[in-house]
Structure formats: C-alpha cells, structure tokens
Structure 1
Amino acid sequence: MSATTSLPVAGSRRVRRYAVDLCRRHPRMLLGALLLHGLAALAGLAAPRLIGDLVEAVERGSSVAAVDRTMALLAGFVVLQAVLTRYARYLSQVLGEEVLAELREDFVAHALALPVGVVEAAGSGDLLTRTSRDVDQLAWSVRRALPEWVIAVVTAVLTFAAALSVGWWVALTCLLGVPPLVVGLRWYLARAKAGYLRESATYSQINATLTETVEGARTVEALGLGRERVRAVDVEVADSFDAERYTLRLRTVFFPSMEISYLLPTVATLLLGGWLHVQGQVSLGDVTAATLYVQMLIDPVDRIVSILDELQLGAASLARLLGVAEVPDDREVSGARPDGEQLDARDVRFAYVEGREVLHGMDLAVGVGERIAVVGPSGAGKSTLGRLLAGIHPPTGGAVTVGGVGLTELPLDELRGHVALVTQEHHVFVGTLRDNLALAAPPGSDDAAVRAALEAVDALEWVDALPEGLDTVVGSGGRALTPPQAQQVALARLVLADPHTLVLDEATALIDPRAARHLERSLAAVLEGRTVVAIAHRLFSAHDADRVAVVEDGRIRELGTHDELVAAGGSYAALWDSWHGTAAGPRGGEDPAT
C-alpha cells in the first residue's frame, strides 16, 4: 500500500513571512527593478497623451512640422521604453535566479534535516514530488510569473494615475469594472489554493505508488500483484484527473467573467467622454487620451489576473516546500557530554505507529570494545533495535545512551563520532571514487588513508584494476559498481569516519558468503578495540561475537556467549542447528564456515 502520511504544508502566513524575508535580503536589486519598471511604464504612458494632443491640434488645424515633431517624440519614448524595459527585465531575472537559488538551498537543508522516521512514514513519493514538480513550478513562478506580475502591477497603477490626470470623470468609468473584478477574484481565490494543493497531493500519491511498484517489481511479479498495482494507479490517476478538472473549472469560470470587467470601463469612457465633449466640458483630445489610457489598462490588469493563476500554483508549491521545515525535530540536544563510550539500552520501547509497539522493554548493555551479535527471525525487531542503538530513532519509551547521555540528545555531527550505522542500503554518489570516500574522511586525509580503508575492506584490488583507479567516475552516468563493490565502498566510508561504535545491520548481506567471511575477517583487524553491534542473518557473525542477543517478538529472549547459548538448548541452539545443517552434530566452538 502507498504511504498515507504526508509531509506538512506551510500556512499562508508562513508563506507571506518567508516571501517578505526574501525581499529584505535583496533590497537594492528589488528597488532597482521596481524603479526601472516604473520608468519604463512612464515612458509608455507618453503615447496616449501625445496622441490626444495631436488629435486636438489636427482639429484646430496643425502644420506638418508639428505632426512630425509629435511623431518623433513618440518614437523617442518608444525607444526609451524599450531600453528601460530591457534592463528592468534583466535585473528582475537576476533577482529571480538569486531568490530561487536561496529557496532551493533552504529546501535542501530542511530536507536533509528531516528525521528518518518522518521520511519513512511519508514515503518517497511526497518528497520526490516536492523536489521535482514543486521546485519546477516555483522556478517558473519566480523566474517568469512574479517579475511579469510586478511589471503589470506597476504599469496598471501608473496607467490609472495617468488616466485620472485627464479628468476626474475617468475614475467613474474605471470604477464600473471593479465590482465584477472583486467578486470574481474573491470567488476564485477562496477556492484556488485548496484546489492546487489537492492537485499536488495527487501527484505525490501517484509518484509514491509508482516508486513502490518499480522498487518492488520482482515481488509484484512473483506474487501476481500486477493487476492490483495497475488498479491502484488507475484510482490515483482518476483522483488526479478530478483534481485537475476542478482547477480547470475554476479557470473557465473565472477568466471569462473577468472580460466583462475589462470591457465595461472602455465602453463607459467612450460614452461618458463623448457626452461631456458634446456638452463642451472636455476636449476631443482629452476623450482620446482617456480612452487610450483606459484601453491600456486592460493589458496590465489582464496580466495581473492571468498571472495570478500561476502565482497560486507557485504559492501552493512554496507552501509545500516550506512545510518540510515545519516537521518537528525528533532530537532534543541537551548540551551534555558523554562520559565514555558505554552504550546502554534500558527498558527500550518503540512504535512506528502509535499504540502498536514493535519493541517491548528491551535491556542491553554493550561494553566498551565488546562485539555483540543480534540474531533472530525476520520481523523480530533486530533492525529496529539497531536503528535505536545508532540514534536514528528516539525510543518511545525507556532510554538509549552513550556515556550516560541520550543518543538523540547529541548533535548529529557529534553522535556520528560515537556511533555509526551501516545497512544493506547504500548509495554511490555521482563523482570519482575518491570523492565518494572523501565524504566520510576527516579533513586533511590523503590518498594513503583512502587506500588503507579500501584495503581494510578487501576492496583495494578491484579499485586498482579500474581504468583510472580512484579517479574513476562512478554513480549515475559513470561506471556501475556491483552491489558487493558498492557495499564495500560504504564500509570503507565507515573505516574513514572512524566512529567508536559500529552498528552493522546485515551490512554484508549483498556479498557472496565466502567474500563476506573474508571481509569480516579483514574488518576484524581494523575494528579491534571498537564496540560493534552486528545484526546478522549469517550465524558465523554470532559465532565470532563476544556475546549473542536473540531477539524474538520485540524482546531479547536470550543473551550470552555462543557456547553458553548452544549449551542452553534454547532458541539460539535451534537456530544454530538449523543453520549449521545438523541437529545432532558437534557444537561448541566449531566454526560453521568450515
């Protein structure tokens, strides 16, 4: 099933506050762009006045030279407007790019700070939609829609002021368009944001289902779930279709109604202006100028209304991006300093979903330098315990501490110096192999340290065999590493990070058993003196450990050395006999790998 928990969406007040804050960061560029747009609009407003004066002059009997002068002035203002508009748009584009870069940086920072549990509960679809479609939509709004809207607002205000300069009566004709405009806007804005948020949410759900289906394609095929998955996508596409049809209906009602508010003032200006001219109260030039100014208002007002739709989309996307920052942190940094590296779990309880515990009062004390293997059947809670011991999740009950300080009370950078987790999941970043390893290396590390880490995990031989060695580009678009090689890279990062305690959650599961055995023997020399909690499904890890913890049904059922647990004849002994392939063969210290 697809995830049902969505990441939060920021409220309108938060969006406005963030937008104002962005403006405050760039006051000079913002004021410069507004000034240039204002000057460009003023240059454009000269034409109606000049044409009105020309009409009046012709009516009185003007000379050809006067007409030529007027046309030259018109040409000059057109050129001036073009130059000012060019630089105004350029400055607006630069400002938009800087604002967009800051928005992306803020979003990436907030996304990387999300608690792992929140990401897992929300699923990948929601976050992927926000990082792709919402960022793209916001990019369009910031680069294009917002600058055009600002230009339209400035032009509309100045044009209206110029129209009023002709005479007070123009205000009456312009006001006729206000009621339908206000009614239409109120109707549209009351519905648009919720509609676009729902539209984006349906995209998130479709992405989540598609991602789950692709990632679990083999399971879907093996269990014959193809039709069910197709039906699930069909339902979500239908929901997305309904959401888009709703927003389309809003636009088809809203935009035609706006045309009425545009036409009424123009018609009224001609009629009222003509009547006033007949009465001898205004000149023909004034009527001409006023009508042209009111006609000129249509374009910026239409752009204001049209672009408002794009801005609604952008605002919805910004609200979704800012919502990521509103996820409460699951860490409460106390500032306390650990006294040593003793790792303790006391009466630990944990639930992914409230009211459904998966760990029930676990107690485990991990001695400094001790190696503990955690074994048990699938679904028993081994990996969950490993995540709590690595500080990935805070326990919902009890405490997990290092040196007497709760793991989730430590800043992440400091925590990873004490405890680190490596799982079957790994990622190879786009870049050279050296860059991939340097992510975990302390500042100032050289190639000798990197090569030593690779040698420790038995990866140096295949790395040296690569065409360009450490300079070989790997990751998407580069050389593809095999799953075992990628896992070895992840383990080499651990060696470079040099944490005191390692939690290995089936870290060698993707490597051939013989290679894994060799790898663990290589790691043993590197990890000597460190604390290691190995969650494994291959029991040779348990055989080599100082102690073994058997987890069943969210509880530690047995705890002791390999020999003690085999001799006790309990759950571990049954697992050992089953894995070893005999129920009556030799026990004790025999190495099951031989």
Structure 2
Amino acid sequence: MSATMLPIADSADVRSYASDIGKRYRRQLVWVVGLASLATVAGLFGPRLLGEIVQAVQTGTTAGHIDALAGLLVLAICVQGVLTRYAYLAGKVFGETVLAELRENFVDSVLDLPLSTVERAGSGDLINRASRDVAALRIAAQEGIPAVLAAVTSGVLTLAALVLVSPLLAAVTLITLPPSTLVARWYLKRARAGYLATNATYSTMIENLAATVEGARAVEALRLGGRHVEQTDHDIAASYRAERYTLGLRIVMWPVIELCQLAPAGLILLLGGVGYTRGWVSIAQVTAATLYVQQLAGPVSELANWLDTIQTGSASLARLLGVTQIPADRAADEGVRPDADDPRLEASEVGFSYLPGREVLRDIDLTVRPGERLAMVGPSGAGKSTLGRLLAGIGAPGRGRVTVGGASLIELPLDELRSQVALVTQEHHVFVGTLRENVALARPDAPDEDIHAALAAVDADAWTSAFDDGLDTRLGSGALELSAPQAQQLALARLVLADPKILVLDEATALLDPGAARHLERSLSAVLDGRTVISIAHRLHTAHDADRVAVIEDGRIAELGSHPELIAAGGAYARLWDSWHGASDQTLPDGQTDWLSSEAL
C-alpha cells in the first residue's frame, strides 16, 4: 500500500466547484430546466383532463365533448413526449460539456503534478482516479444530473398542480414528508465518507496488483506468490467491507422511500372517498389528485434511484478535484532567463529529503562547466539519482539553490527549462502512436530528416529502417511492442532531437548489453559534442571517459576530480576502479562491505 494518498477535496470545495459550473453554464442549465418544466407542465394536463372526463361521464355529457377532451389528452401526451425528448438531449449535452471540461482540467493537473508527489503516493491511487472515478463521474454528469434536474422540476410542478386541484388532498402527501426527509438526511450524512472509503480500497488494490504485475519475475524468483495472494485477498476483503457498508445505507433508505411513495395514493383514495360522500371534493378532484400523486411517485423514485449515483459521483469529484489542489513544486517566473554569457550549472549548499528529518542530500556544492562531461558514481541509495533530478530541474531542493546561468531552475518557465536541461533515465515509455510521434515529442514540428538523423545518432536506424511503414509504423499497446533496449534507444533519440544544452543521463544505457552500450555511447559522443553532460555511471568506462568524476557517499560529494587525479589519490574511487577491474580484493575498515563493485553502481 502506498504510504501517502493523494489529497481529497472537502465538501465546501465540491459545492464551490458545482456552483461555479452552474454560473459559467447558466444558459445551458436554464435551457435544461426550462425544457423539463415545459415537459412537466404538458404532462400535468393529462390527470386533469382524465378527471374532467370521469366527471363528465358521471354527470352526463355528449360524445363530442368526450372526444374533444380525449383529443386534448392525446395532444398533451404528444407535446410532453417531444419536450421530454429535447429536455433529455439538452441534459446530455450539458453533462457532456461539464464532463469534458473536468476531464481536461484533470489531465492538465496530472501532467503538472510534481513527480515527488506521484512517487510518494504510488500509481494505484492516480490510476483509480483516472479510470474508476472518471467513469463514475461520467454516469453522474451525463445521466444523473439531467435526471435529477428533471425530477426536481417535475416534482415541484406536480405538487403545485395537486395543491391547485385540492389543498385538502394535497395535505395528505405531507404526511410522508418527515420520514422521507429524515432517512435522506441520515443517508447523506454517511454516504460521502462511505464512498470515499470504497474508492480508497480500490486504489490500494490497484496499487498492489500493479506492483505484483510489474515485479512478476521477482515475485516468482523469490517465491513471494503466496504472500501477494494473501495481500490481494486482504485488499478484496477490505473492498467488500466498504461496499457492504454503502449497500447497507441503501438498504435502509430505499424501503422507506418506496413506502413514502405508495402510501399517499392510498390515503388520498381513502380521504377522497370520505370527502366526496360529504361534498368536500368532487369526483374530478379525487381522480386528478390520485393521478397526480401517482405521477409524483415517478420523480421521487427517480431522485431516490439517482441519489446513490450522485453521491458516488460527488465522492469521485472530490477525489478528482483533490488532484487539482496539489501545490506545484516550482514557481516559474516568465521574466527569469539564464545568462547566455555564463551558462554554468551550479548547486549551492543543496539539501533534500523525501521525509522530514531524513536528508538524502547534504551540503552539495557543485559547479559543472559548459561543455564538461561529469560522471557521478556511488553506492545504491547514496543520492545520485536524486541529485541528478535536482540538476535537471525535476524537483526543487529542500534548501540551497540549483541554477543555470545564474537563474534558479525552479523559477524558469518549463519551455525555457527544457531547452536548457533534460533528463533521461533507464525507465522509458513507448506511447501509443507512430514512430514519428514518439520521437518528435519534444519537437512536434520536426521534419522527417531530423527524426531520421536522431534515430541514426543512437543506432536505432539499424532496426527502424526495417519497418515497412517507416516513420508511420504504429507503436505501443495493441501495435508493435518494442523491447526494453529499443525503447531506451527511442528515448535517447527524443533527447537528441530536443537538443538541450545540458543533459542528465541517469543510467540511460543500462538496459543495453555492455558492448551495445559502449557503441551507443561512442555514437552519442559525437552528437553531444560541445554540450554539458552529467552521467550517473553504471559502468566505469563512462567515468573513465568523463572530464571529472563526482563520488557520492551518504548524500555528500566525497571526492571530485578527473579519473587520473582520483586514481592517484587512492581513495574511494581508486578502490572502485580496482574492484571493477578485478585488480584487488580489498576489505574496507571496520569490516564494512565493499560497495565498490560494478553491480552496486
């Protein structure tokens, strides 16, 4: 289970967002309510006309009069059908419009999320919000909101018509108002928390299932299958308990609502019969009132049926809005620009921690000169990748500053930042789309010649040239699946095409075999000539070829210098070099394990 869940908007924020939607789409909302009102008004003529027909038959009338009333009844039904159709259509358009805006805002917010926040929360919660919560909100927005608006409008107008027919008979319906109101308040008080808890259990389940699938080989190799099955059973049990809780709420609410729908009709017939015999009401009034009460049961039933869906959608909306409230980890200033005459990359007194009180980096001071190639080496967990991310502007340091040309990286606008610094790791993604689209992510307007040149620079032309459709070859899920080394070359081709001034390579060739990696690095060397390159070294030949090497230990720069200088110093790097070449088998003081092996880098 992830240590941290993404935030959830509170009820006030959800109401504020709904109010803002209502204000911005007031015209569409008025149109929906107006059409629903007209459809309801047309439907109100039916019971009244039927009451008149019953009254006319009782007192005696002509066939022509009955035919005229029947014709008006048919006309009212036809008009109601047409208006209901267009009210439903307007409601769907309104729901789709609101949902489209929310989806766009959600995607924008997800793309702007600080990576540190996503890493702490894990992928399960975010995947659940992007899939299950969006799906729940889609149903609520497309169908639930229009249905509720129509039901409320119909219910109010039908009740008003009932009062106009007979205030005495209308008063009977108020008897069921207290129990239905109380049970609705009881339900609403508990439903939001229940549905939020249910969604949280699904997030946990997805997180653990994704981890099991992604680490399937490790799970199998270490025989952890039983433990993961137990975890899945535990997650399913938690989800079952949460679902059962919300089901219990519905089981209590719905029977009460159903009883409150059925009781008024019987009461009106009973009171109407007594009232008719005593001359309080006419047969037409009793007939119309009974039909209105039956007609009123429709909107009430509709509200009860959709109340659960609206509550689910409200909980999902709170989770989606929570993502939009995550503060940015950077404060871009459009006026900030690096000094072109002094484009050094500098880290000054940098410290960073993922958890309060546990610093991963401490007092980092580093200056990378323009055109320099710097290699960073050190044991696993020493902070190499974290420092690389800060030098690429991916995150903000907890203290200190990281600057390029004197401008703080976290203050640079993103377009400017990416033209200055780019990060490539060993984790790469192939997007669904063509080969051209995948390579040209950083430069969508790049001509085919530049794309081919970028692929050739990373030796990817050896296999991409064999594609029958060339750059139009479809890649990704459901199309051509690339191997891990090919995906890595594709990511490096994007980097070449983006053409940043400073590159941070975090084991960017780790998925290639040593020979292929060495060949690729030599090919890249010519392409990247003149650019500043910071390599988090996995293989020591990278450090050997670098202008300088920074040895990271325990979150600090323990050594900094050229390969010959560090070898001559006889320190940690020298021991690493000897260990990597198998020249010696040294033991560190105090019985420490020698981390200076190629596998630890």
1:105-142 CA distances to partner (integer Å, 9 max, x unpaired)? 11101111100000000000000000110011111111
Look up the match of 1:465: 466
Displacement after TM superposition at 1:177 (Å): 1.3
Q: Percentage identity across aligned positions?
A: 57
Find the residue that maps to 1:529 and give its secondary structure: coil
The correspondence of residues 9-408 of structure 1 with structure 2, limited to 5 A, is: 9-334=8-333, 335-339=335-339, 340-408=342-410
Displacement after TM superposition at 1:444 (Å): 4.1
- What is the alpha-carbon distance in structure 1 between the residues aligned to residue 380 and residue 55 of structure 2? 92
For 1:336, give the aligned amino acid: V
**1:177–1:261 Cα contact (<8 Å) kept:** yes
Displacement after TM superposition at 1:145 (Å): 1.4
1:375-410 CA distances to partner (integer Å, 9 max, x unpaired)? 112222111111111111211122211122221122
Segments of 5+ residues of structure 2 without an aligned counterpart are: 586-597
Find the residue that maps to 2:374 and give its secondary structure: strand
- What is the alpha-carbon distance in structure 1 between the residues aligned to residue 173 and residue 507 of structure 2? 73
Displacement after TM superposition at 1:70 (Å): 1.9
- What is the alpha-carbon distance in structure 2 between the residues aligned to residue 560 and residue 499 of structure 1? 25
For 2:134, give the aligned amino acid: V
Find the residue that maps to 1:176 and give its secondary structure: helix
Look up the match of 2:561: 560
- What is the alpha-carbon distance in structure 2 between the residues aligned to residue 326 and residue 457 of structure 1? 40
Look up the match of 1:589: none
Normalising by structure 1, report the TM-score: 0.95
Give the paired residue count.
Answer: 583
Aligned structure 1 segments of 4 or more residues deviating by more than 6 angstroms: none
For 2:292, give the aligned amino acid: Y
- What is the alpha-carbon distance in structure 2 between the residues aligned to residue 179 and residue 491 of structure 1? 68
Segments of 5+ residues of structure 1 without an aligned counterpart are: 585-591
Look up the match of 2:416: 414
Displacement after TM superposition at 1:374 (Å): 0.3
For 2:433, give the aligned amino acid: G
1:406-447 CA distances to partner (integer Å, 9 max, x unpaired)? 211222222111111000011111111111112112x64211
Find the residue that maps to 1:358 and give its secondary structure: strand
Look up the match of 2:594: none
**2:364–2:556 Cα contact (<8 Å) kept:** yes
Look up the match of 1:587: none
Find the residue that maps to 2:486 and give its secondary structure: helix
- What is the alpha-carbon distance in structure 2 between the residues aligned to residue 147 and residue 444 of structure 1? 42
Displacement after TM superposition at 1:143 (Å): 1.3
For 1:485, give the aligned amino acid: Q
Asked whether 1:505 is paired with 2:506, we answer: yes
- Pick which of 236-245 and 340-349 moved more: 340-349
Normalising by structure 2, report the TM-score: 0.94
1:341-390 CA distances to partner (integer Å, 9 max, x unpaired)? 21111222111111111112222111111110001122221111111111
Displacement after TM superposition at 1:266 (Å): 2.2
1:239-281 CA distances to partner (integer Å, 9 max, x unpaired)? 1111111001000011111123223322332233333222212
**1:341–1:418 Cα contact (<8 Å) kept:** no
- Pick which of 231-240 and 503-512 moved more: 231-240
Find the residue that maps to 1:379 and give its secondary structure: coil
**1:440–1:496 Cα contact (<8 Å) kept:** yes
Look up the match of 2:434: 432
Look up the match of 2:591: none
- What is the alpha-carbon distance in structure 2 between the residues aligned to residue 525 and residue 177 of structure 1? 83
1:282-341 CA distances to partner (integer Å, 9 max, x unpaired)? 211111111211221111111112211110001101111111001111112244322242
**1:176–1:264 Cα contact (<8 Å) kept:** no
Find the residue that maps to 2:365 and give its secondary structure: strand
Displacement after TM superposition at 1:29 (Å): 2.7
Look up the match of 1:580: 581
Find the residue that maps to 1:209 and give its secondary structure: helix
- Pick which of 105-114 and 328-337 moved more: 328-337
- Pick which of 351-360 and 248-257 moved more: 351-360
> Considering only aligned residues, what root-mean-square deviation do their CA atoms show, in Å?
1.5
Look up the match of 1:527: 528
- What is the alpha-carbon distance in structure 2 between the residues aligned to residue 276 and residue 480 of structure 1? 79
